[in-house]
């Protein structure tokens, strides 16, 4: 899992850093990033604790800072404080799964919902957003729950289109989903679905109308 997080981090940093280093230096204000997706966005491996449970979405929305967590978001925050020249804050409708350094640097907010499929994430993609960049990694739970990869891809691009329409100033960075460790035949079958899903992401991206396509980046995990 640590290697997977490093791959996500590298791809995200590469896309963002290449696009915004000059913008950051000129404006001297933080770039606003909206992490969006499921448990990988929430912060894989983080223990749920806190006092702000919201039953409608089964999430802790104001979890206090802890000593570890944040998944790839935590690594992004950590590396950004080590002289990379990337100055950013985050936005989102919850802050669960974040760790203490993210709270100190105002990078704890996000839209990561553990266990959520793409159809369940669509509602959040219509919420108001002001981010310069929206990072999306979604679809893993659709595959794990034996949902159609075609439907998942359609839902993913509904999410993308909603984000682009809601926030006309954002660039969307879409990650192809990470394969599952092939420890048995069941996981091998799931990985074949993941490969088909990732291939369909490319096809749907290529079919976007030109003005929308210019605002979307696909990164391969």
Torsion of CA 78, 82, 83, 89, to 10 degrees: 30
**pLDDT by residue (tens digit) across 75-105?**
788 778 877 777 899 999 998 888 888 888 9
Which phi and psi (to 5°) does residue 216 adopt?
A: -125, 140
Closest CA to 15 of 113, 111, 136: 136
Closest CA to 175 of 3, 13, 8: 8
**pLDDT by residue (tens digit) across 125-168?**
999 999 999 999 999 999 999 999 999 999 999 999 999 999 99
**Per-residue pLDDT band at 48 (split at 50, 70, 90):** very low
**pLDDT by residue (tens digit) across 162-210?**
999 999 999 999 999 988 765 556 667 888 899 999 999 999 999 999 9
* C-beta separation of 106 from 90 below 8 A: yes
Token pair 């933080």 in the structure block, residue: 30
Kindly give the interhelix angle for 149-166 and 185-206, rounded to the nearest 10 degrees.
40
Task: For residues 14 and 82, give the distance between their C-alpha atoms in angstroms, rounded to a whole number.
Answer: 16
| In this structure, CATH architecture of domain 2-219 | 3-Layer(aba) Sandwich (3.40)
Please spell the DSSP secondary structure of 82-135, one letter per residue: TTSS--EEE--SB-TT--HHHHHTT---BEE-TT--HHHHHHHHTS----SEEE
Domains in the chain: boundaries:
2-219
């Amino acid at each position: 899992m640590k290697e997977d997080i490093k791959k996500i981090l590298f791809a995200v940093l590469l896309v963002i850093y290449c696009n915004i280093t000059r913008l950051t230096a000129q404006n001297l204000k933080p770039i606003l990033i909206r992490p969006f997706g499921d448990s990988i966005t929430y912060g894989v491996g983080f223990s749920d604790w806190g006092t702000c449970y919201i039953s409608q979405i089964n999430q802790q929305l104001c979890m206090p800072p802890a000593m570890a967590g944040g998944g790839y978001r935590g690594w992004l925050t950590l590396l950004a404080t080590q002289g990379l020249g990337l100055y950013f804050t985050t936005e989102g409708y919850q802050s669960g799964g974040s760790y203490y350094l993210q709270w100190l640097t105002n990078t704890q907010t996000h839209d990561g919902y553990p266990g959520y499929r793409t159809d369940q994430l669509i509602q959040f993609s219509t919420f108001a957003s002001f981010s310069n960049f929206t990072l999306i990694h979604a679809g893993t739970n659709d595959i794990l729950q034996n949902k159609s990869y075609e439907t998942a891809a359609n839902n993913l691009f509904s999410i993308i289109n909603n984000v682009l329409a809601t926030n006309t100033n954002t660039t969307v960075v879409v990650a192809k989903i990470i394969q599952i460790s092939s420890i048995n035949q069941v996981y091998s079958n799931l990985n074949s679905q993941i490969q088909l899903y990732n291939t369909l992401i490319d096809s749907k991206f290529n079919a976007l109308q030109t003005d929308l396509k210019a605002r979307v980046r696909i990164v391969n995990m």
